Structure 1
C-alpha cells in the first residue's frame, strides 16, 4: 500500500507550492494514474514518491513505513512511468520491460 499524506512542495522556498495538501491511497493490486493539466504537479508528486525530490512537508508511506526512513535500494523494486518514458521502438512492450529489468538484475519470474 502507498499512502500520501498532506503533501506540499515548494521549489523556491517562498510559500508558492507546486503541490499542496495532496492526499491519496493506493491499495495493493490497484492501478493508479495521475491525470491533470500541465503544471498541476503530477511530475512533482512522482518525483517525491521516488525520492528524486526530498520531502518538505507531509509524508509518503510504503506499507506503513515513511519514505524518510526507507533505504534507497527499495526504489530498485518499484516502477514509475513519467510523461516521456524511454523505450526502444523496435522492441515490443514486453521486450522493453525485459530489457530494462535486466539492466538492474531485476528478476522477472518469466516462464519464457
Structure 2
C-alpha cells in the first residue's frame, strides 16, 4: 500500500493567509474539513451552523461569545460549538485558530 503522507504546518499556513478571519481548507479527515485562520484582535460577527464545529486555538487566545457569556479559549484548548448555537468572537482574540467542521 503506497499512501502519501502530508504534513501541514498550521501556524505557518495561518500567517501566509492574505487576510485575517478568512479560513483556508488545509485538508479533510474522516469526513471533516480542517481549516486554519488567523485572528487579528478584531471581532467576528455572530453565526450558527447546522453542524457541530470544533474551534481549536493553536496559539494566542480566542474570546468566544456564546449564549450570552464570553468564554476565553487559550492555546491548546478546543471548544465544541453545538449545531444551531449562535456564536461570535469578541475583540482581543489573536493567534491561530483551527476549525473542524463538515
Into which bin does the TM-score normalised by the smaller protein fall?
A: under 0.3
Q: RCO greater where, 1 or 2, for CA within 8 Å and sep 6 or more?
A: 2
Instruction: Compare the two structures and name the one with the higher strand fraction.
Output: 2
